[in-house]
Amino acid sequence: MIALSLAEIAEITGGELRLAGTDSAETVVDGVVDTDSRVMEPGSIFVAKPGAETDGHRFVGSAIKGGAVLAIVEHPVDDEVTQIVVADVIDALAELAREVVARVRALGRLRIVGITGSNGKTTTKNFLARILQDDGETVAPINSYNNEVGAPVTMLRVTERTRFLVSEFGAAAPGSIARLAGLVEPDISVVLMVGMAHAGGFGGIEETAKAKAELVAAARPDGTAVLNVDDARVAAMRALAESRGMRVVGFGQSSAADIRAHDIEVTAAGTHCVIEARGERYPLHLRVLGAHHITNALAAITAAGVLGVSTADAIARLETVELAERWRMQPMGNDRVRIINDAYNASPDSMAAALRTLAQITGPGERTVAVLGAMSELGESAGEEHDRIGLLAVRLNIQRIVVVGHEARRLYLSAVGEGSWDSEAVHLPDQDAAFEYLRTELRDGDRVLVKSSNSVGLRHLGDRLGELFS
Ligand SMILES: Nc1ncnc2c1ncn2[C@@H]1O[C@H](COP(=O)(O)OP(=O)(O)OP(=O)(O)O)[C@@H](O)[C@H]1O
Ligand SMILES: [Mg+2]
């Protein structure tokens, strides 16, 4: 964090400062801010977050051992540490992030990009951070830190040296993007797609679209909306952006796009396409698997372009990226048995995209195997969506469909019901049973996709298979 005095932090967070040791109100702190006591370093600020299962106030002692010099708490703790007592630590964290980013922005160099969408946020964030880092210090969240803790904790890593902040915003509930993006008012709002991911919590896709549009509404009025014109619900956000006086740049495969991709070719070695921007054409050879990642790459190239990075430079930097992120279309195994571990999470759109990729990258004489677990957070449409994926797997001629877990039963039943002659489906109760089955079943030439929602945890099965065939 930028250097602030204890008095300033107390004022920003509206808290009561309780000094310990030799500290005074003028003592300056500038360390890492986090709610996790395990990541404390000398000089850190520990935020004691009460949780459903465990209460951060119990870990103040271990945070101090780790080097924390200040605790932000909701009730005083005994430990010999300087503390600021606030009404709500999440609000305090948010206000601190708002102030720190505002102070750095006032220096005139910092540019902020917000990214949202039902799928692809983390991938696009990584692509864009990779492009921007060559032009200046870039702060971006670790993994998927995009919630009420992860977003401000990331923002607080911004310092006077930072040129770019790339933030990912997930829609936990209506209003959550407005609140978190409102802390920083992005210069650029990127909206990737509106899909069924987490739609159960929103009562449907139109409500999800409204939640994503909050990122456009949260941007600075002199900012830019970077919109996927291939998704009608995202393209429709142009009206909102323009009504706020924002510039709009569209990306996608349709001819309506300002930055366009065409001639997409999906192979086991990577994904190729032609990028067309301002009348020029550039080949892109992305090492990341799957046509869906072209959308994310385009979004990153487009946002980087708004920040002054040429298309040629953006492409050259993107081509160095080997992996979108751990457990996202991650190639494992060996040349004989290839595993694609895409089980960080799953929604109907990302399941479909992964299955299509599996079918596209499998050559003649090779066999497609899909190891699939449930998609969670779909609410009422869960049954129907699992049916649809079962059908799709058969229609794509996936040769062996291995369904894992009771929750994914409808996927299995619909695959069996559709029953094409060369598809064979099995249903296994859990990961261990699936591992035992696959250990004997898999053979040379198999191309194996492993995919489920995060809560089902098939990423671990993917890792085990990757190791078995390494
Ligand atoms: N445009 C896309 N269409 C369909 N699937 C996609 C798309 N982009 C990424 N995916 C897939 O969606 C899954 C999640 O990707 P990623 O982690 O980048 O998204 P996210 O939006 O950050 O997800 P989360 O909400 O879980 O944080 C991966 O399986 C990835 O391959
Ligand atoms: Mg994410």
Note the pLDDT of residue 205: 85
| Rounded mean pLDDT, 237-258 | 97
The pLDDT-based confidence of 242 (bands split at 50, 70, 90) is very high
Sheet containing 446-451: order of strands? 330-333, 338-341, 446-451, 367-372, 400-404, 424-428
Q: Which residues of 140-166 are buried (b: 16+ CB within 10 A; e: fewer)?
A: bbeebbbbbbbbbbbbbbbeeebbbbb
For the CA of 146, the closest atom of ligand 1 is 27
The pLDDT-based confidence of 418 (bands split at 50, 70, 90) is confident
Note the pLDDT of residue 17: 97
Alpha-carbon distance of 115 to 151, in angstroms, equals 12
Q: For strands 424-428 and 400-404, give the pairing.
A: parallel
Alpha-carbon distance of 435 to 468, in angstroms, equals 10
For the domain spanning 330-469, the CATH number is 3.90.190.20
- Does position 420 have pLDDT exceeding 70, yes or no? no
For the domain spanning 4-87, the CATH number is 3.40.1390.10
Which tokens belong to 352? 């479909």
> Of the ligands numbered here, which is closest to the C-alpha atom of 296?
1
Q: For strands 4-5 and 28-29, give the pairing.
A: antiparallel
| Rounded mean pLDDT, 192-207 | 77
Of 119, 192, 361, the one to substitute when testing ligand 1's pocket (max ligand atoms within 8 A of C-beta) is 119
Write phi, then psi, for 467 (nearest 5 degrees).
Answer: -70, -45
The pLDDT-based confidence of 404 (bands split at 50, 70, 90) is very high
- Find all residues with CB under 8 Å of 61, minimum gap 6, and list them: 79
The reply to whether 362 sits in an annotated binding site is no
pLDDT, mean over the chain: 94
Of 115, 116, 123, 357, the one to substitute when testing ligand 1's pocket (max ligand atoms within 8 A of C-beta) is 123
For the domain spanning 92-320, the CATH number is 3.40.1190.10
| Rounded mean pLDDT, 271-276 | 97
Kindly report the pTM of this predicted structure.
0.91
CB contact at 8 A, 375 and 382? yes
- Find all residues with CB under 8 Å of 379, minimum gap 6, and list them: 199, 200, 201, 203
Q: For strands 247-252 and 259-267, give the pairing.
A: parallel
Note the pLDDT of residue 422: 55
Q: Where are the domains of the chain?
A: 4-87, 92-320, 330-469
Note the pLDDT of residue 25: 97
HSE of 130, CA atoms in CB hemisphere, 13 A: 23
For the CA of 454, the closest atom of ligand 1 is 26
Write phi, then psi, for 462 (nearest 5 degrees).
Answer: -60, -45
Which DSSP helix (H) or strand (E) runs through 82? strand 82-85
Cβ(120) – ligand 1 distance below 6 Å: yes
Cβ(167) – ligand 1 distance below 6 Å: no
The pLDDT-based confidence of 181 (bands split at 50, 70, 90) is very high
The pLDDT-based confidence of 119 (bands split at 50, 70, 90) is very high
- Predicted confidence (pLDDT) per residue in 43-93, tens digit: 999 999 998 778 999 999 999 999 999 999 999 997 789 999 999 999 999
| Rounded mean pLDDT, 193-203 | 73
The reply to whether 414 sits in an annotated binding site is no
Same fold, 92-320 and 330-469: no
DSSP string covering 28-70? EE-S-EES-GGG--TT-EEE--B-SS-BGGGGHHHHHHTT--E
Cβ(145) – ligand 1 distance below 6 Å: no
Give 3-state DSSP helix, strand, coil % of the chain, rounded to 5. Answer: 40, 25, 40
- Predicted confidence (pLDDT) per residue in 307-365, tens digit: 999 999 999 999 999 998 899 999 999 999 999 999 999 999 999 999 999 999 999 99
First to last CA, the chain: 42
Cβ(298) – ligand 1 distance below 6 Å: no
Alpha-carbon distance of 42 to 405, in angstroms, equals 45
